[in-house]
Structure 1
Amino acid sequence: MTAPAKTQARRGPDACCDPGLARALEAVRKIIGPDGSVDATPQAWNVSMFRPRTVHAVVRPTTAEQVRAVLRVFDDPDLSSGLHAYSTGRNWGLGSREPARDHAVALDLGGLDRVRDLDLVHGWAVVEPGVTQGALAALLAGSDRMLNVTAASAHTSVVGNILDRGVGVRRQRTEDLAGLEVVLPDGELVRTGWWPVPGRPPAAVYPYGLGPSLLHLFTQSDLGVVTAAAVRLPSRPEAQRMLRLGFTRDRLSPAVDMLRRWMAQGLVSGVVKVYDMVSAQFYGGRAGEFLAHLCVTGTHRSATALAEVLLKEAAECGLFSYAGQSDTDDAVVAMLEHTHAGDPGHNDAMLQATLGQPADRVDKHGEGWLFFMPMVPFHGDGVSRAYGLLERIQDESGVRPGCTVNGLSPDLVDFVVTIRFSRSEEAARQAHRVLDRAHELFHAEGFVPYRLDVDHAGWLDRLSPDPAGLALVRRLKQWIDPNSAIAPGRYA
């Protein structure tokens, strides 16, 4: 079982007696110069109360060229510490900015915060890791293009979430990825997938190119450090309608099947969201009921017509206790409407209501928060089985996790489990035991997580469908990074 440590792991230079690392950090200081920094006292807390790892320093470059030079310094067989890269570090619930293992040097890419290029005609932007979804969405305001935003804070990184295969309200963020600029462990810079070529006429955005595609070799990866991404920007719909439907626990399976049917037949747009009886209280639902939010987009005439069809079918099927168009005066509904329209500007109010703190204070002062994120088949039986596991956990532990069903396609659900707890050692230990139990129960049912937290990185072998495939990835790591310039990540 994993549990938070009572004593903080040592951070900074006092934790390191390696003269080679000291020389490397001195070389890095000269590379970074006055615009960046090398901090010897990294942050030592995270909202999930995972054990803080030993981090010897935080390096903060501001350009891709600096990242290349830093990697060349760490591409040294005599160094015992590798680089752990992150963007804004707001990977809340999964470890925030913590590395998976001890004895790392953090590479904070938040200072690489430029939108390098933007094409509203062809629908793409080239952004660096420090660009937040709020900043990019603001650039697109009033245009025909939008960002597929998540329900997380506006201060979270676009690139960071894509690289961890996060989920937006329109689709999974991996579908937004067109190309990557990556610095390899020896400092070489490569671009994979689609990338704009200066001086050439605009080309169609086609991520796969010719021959083997290397694009997703660098998502959930410790094979390189991403310094920019080409991100697709969906067309902004002319009109949007939000519908809200409630149903009780005994109708979970048939209600989910009905939602799946509507999605399969193209009646809804984007991700279908269903909040369970715990989560629904934060999203405007009735006590003791599940709450579904559906988005319908199109022209004004088609969106209105589809919304009317859905409401009529919802009334006729008899599965829902209520169904109607959402009240735009409700703060939660306003947040959901804005996120579906590509605006995360209302998200932080929900964040503060949930965790009690603004984004920059969540890790130090926010309420305790853990995520567990398995994929589940999108049908009534699959979702009911998954929800039954949460009920079993509650019976065993007395802790009632919340969950949100994100219908990504007619076949696939992102079943997000949230575990809230007070920031005390005893409450944290109990919450982490619940997280461990969720991993065990869901794995036994064949429901595999699509993202891992820092304490469950060791589950990768158990969760991978083919040992030979995982061994191939590890051979690639040894070939590309023989000196371990990049520290092993959560998916190593």
Structure 2
Amino acid sequence: MDEVETWLRQWERRLGTGMADPVVQANVGMFRPRRVVGTLCPDDVEQVRAIVGSAVKGVTLYPLSTGHNWGLGSREPVRDGAVVLDLRRLDRVRLLDLDLGVAVVEPGVTQGRLAGLLSDSSYMLNVTASSAHTSIVGNALERGVGLRRQRCEDVAGMEVVLADGRLIRLGNWPDEEGRVVPYGHEVGPALMPLFAQSNLGVVTAAVIRLLPRPRALHLVRLTFDASRLATVVDELRDCHGQRLISGILKIYQPPESEECVAYCCVDGDPELAALSCALLMRRVERTRLFDDVHDYVGDEQLPGQLRRCLSGDPSWNELVLENWFGTSSRGIDANPGNGYLFFLPLLPFQGAAVARARALVREVCAETGTQWRATVNAISYDVIDLVVSCLFPKAMAAQAHRALDLLHRRFADCGWRPYRLDVDHMSAGGPPDVLRRLKEVFDPRNVLAPGRYEPP
């Protein structure tokens, strides 16, 4: 028995039977399965500190929260030979202040659970359109996008275990009496961003800023022909800039149709929201760009899900996932029939850029015989998160991954990089020498997630 195996067996005895397993799990993206030495599931922060601090030579740890990183690798480490540090059992809501609108949560706390705790309050969580069982902390560290804003904007403080086992708290962390000012920035050089999309520490809790729940919400649905996509995007950008649209503007472009659909949220005080909704509808009707404009109040699945997510309720997301994958969220990675991939580039909020991106996706589909969907998420007045996804029969995994490689290359040629990466394309974009020096400072033994968001 070598030193690494001895170390693992010792932790198995400490954590209990079944808590240190060499489990190999399928991933729905059909990325190459990595060789995993074992999986450790600590119960609390002190166990995380002890595991990280005691790692012997040859041990590398790959932290994850709930592991639902579907389409980007799920639970797969970047490199072979890692011990997965599964933090799903760290599931405490340490603080919930419904006067101020702030929560402190651990990585195992799901968006469905916190949303449920907030359901009767005047605050809501910035939820995503993914499963209610996904981690709030994990998604924020990946800079995921909620229906209201990018998830990293929700974070006001972090608790981090460093590679030597030390515990630090960054940003605006509650004091001993639970008092906190949920300001999203630090005084002086900011350290919190170093632990998002990185391998410099293990985040064991985060301060999450909640949002006031709007008293009224309208969802304006606009349909238009894809030939007018560029002009429509520019028109909606101006509406967004004039604050006629709240939250994330979405434009769906079904691959099998030339009809596009945009959903615009208008919310706030009931009287103000009604006036703003009427103003937005009058404005877009005057452009004659749209085939249909109306304030949607029905119960179709997609707009119904959007309305609930915009109100901080992810409960309908499970039904959408089941219809999409033919299984619940628990069975997505083990789905015997279909695979799923994401490509997530950022574009300038310009009509010409969105139209060009649509053409690139179609070119790649034609070259590879695969079908990808592109959804516009306008996360600000300047930036679009283009969610490009592919549901494919597992027999076509090679073609789907070839298409993914082509999308990375073609979009890079246009100057558009992804904001979030899968396990096969995990090269960081910063200066390589600076990134390597940071790694040497924070993790000189290279214990934590080698290869994750590192220079090539």
Gap regions ≥5 residues in structure 1: 1-17, 282-286
1:81: Cα distance to partner?
3.0
Paired residues for 1:297-446 under 5 Å:
297-365=267-335, 367-424=338-395, 427-446=396-415
Q: Which residue of 2 aligns with 1:189?
A: 167
> Which of 256, 262, 265 is residue 239 of structure 2 equivalent to?
262
Q: CA 1:182/1:489 → structure 2, altered by over 3 Å: closer, same or farther? A: farther
Task: Please tell me whether the aligned partners of residues 31 and 69 of structure 1 are also in contact (alpha carbons under 8 angstroms).
Answer: no
Q: Any conservation in 2 of the 1:146–1:234 contact (CA below 8 Å)? A: yes
* Contact persistence 2:369–2:399 (CA under 8 A): no
Shift of the alpha carbon at 1:395?
Answer: 2.8
Q: CA deviation at 1:29?
A: 2.5
Maintained 8 Å contact 1:145/1:234? yes
Cα deviations across residues 64-115 of structure 1 (Å, max 9, x unaligned)? 00000000111x3xx2230000011000000001000101000110000110
Supply the AA of the counterpart residue of 1:239: A
Per-residue deviation at 1:471?
1.9
Change (3 A) 1:288 1:37: same
Deviation above 3 Å: which 4+ runs of structure 1? none
474-483 or 211-220, which deviates more = 474-483
Structure-2 separation of matches of 1:159 and 1:209 = 19
Partner of 1:7: none
Please name the residue that 1:483 is paired with.
445
State how 1:188-267 maps to structure 2 within 5 Å. 188-199=166-177, 202-267=179-244
Q: Matched residues in 2 for 1:132 and 1:388: separation?
A: 37
**Aligned with 2:101 (options 109, 123, 127):** 123
> Match of 1:102?
80
Matching of residues 57-68 of structure 1 within 5 Å: 57-68=38-49
Superposed CA offset, 1:161-185 (max 9, x none): 0000000000000110111100001
- Secondary structure of the residue aligned to 1:134 is helix
The percent identity for this pair of structures is 45
Whole-Å Cα distance in 1 between the matches of residues 113 and 305 of structure 2? Answer: 17
Structure 1 SS opposite 2:233:
helix
Letter in 1 for 2:313: D
Q: Unpaired segments of 5 or more residues in structure 2?
A: none
In the aligned structure 2, how far is the partner of 1:349 from the partner of 1:143?
Answer: 25
1:38 corresponds, among 20, 29, 34, to: 20
CA contact (8 A) 2:217 2:268 kept: yes
The 8 Å contact of residues 373 and 415 in structure 1, kept in 2 or not, is answered as yes
How far off is 1:33 after superposition? 4.3
| Equivalent residue letter for 1:327 | V
In structure 2, what is the Cα distance between the partners aligned to 1:475 and 1:33? Answer: 38
- 2:32 is aligned to 51
Q: Deviations over 1:206-253 (max 9, x none)?
A: 232321110111000111111111110011111100111111111000
Q: 1:474 aligns with which of 418, 426, 436?
A: 436
- Rounded to whole Å, the distance in 2 between the matches of 1:407 and 1:346 is 22
User: Could you tell me which of 25, 29, 32 is aligned with 2:12?
Assistant: 29
For the aligned residue pairs, the C-alpha RMSD in angstroms reads 1.4
- Please name the residue that 2:113 is paired with: 135
**Quick check: 22-31 or 261-270, which moved more?**
22-31
Q: State the alpha-carbon separation in 1 of the partners of residues 371 and 16 from structure 2.
A: 50
TM-score between the two structures when normalised by the length of structure 2: 0.97
SS of alignment partner, residue 27 of structure 1: helix
SS at match of 1:107: strand
| SS class of match (2:261) | strand
Normalised TM-score (structure 1): 0.90
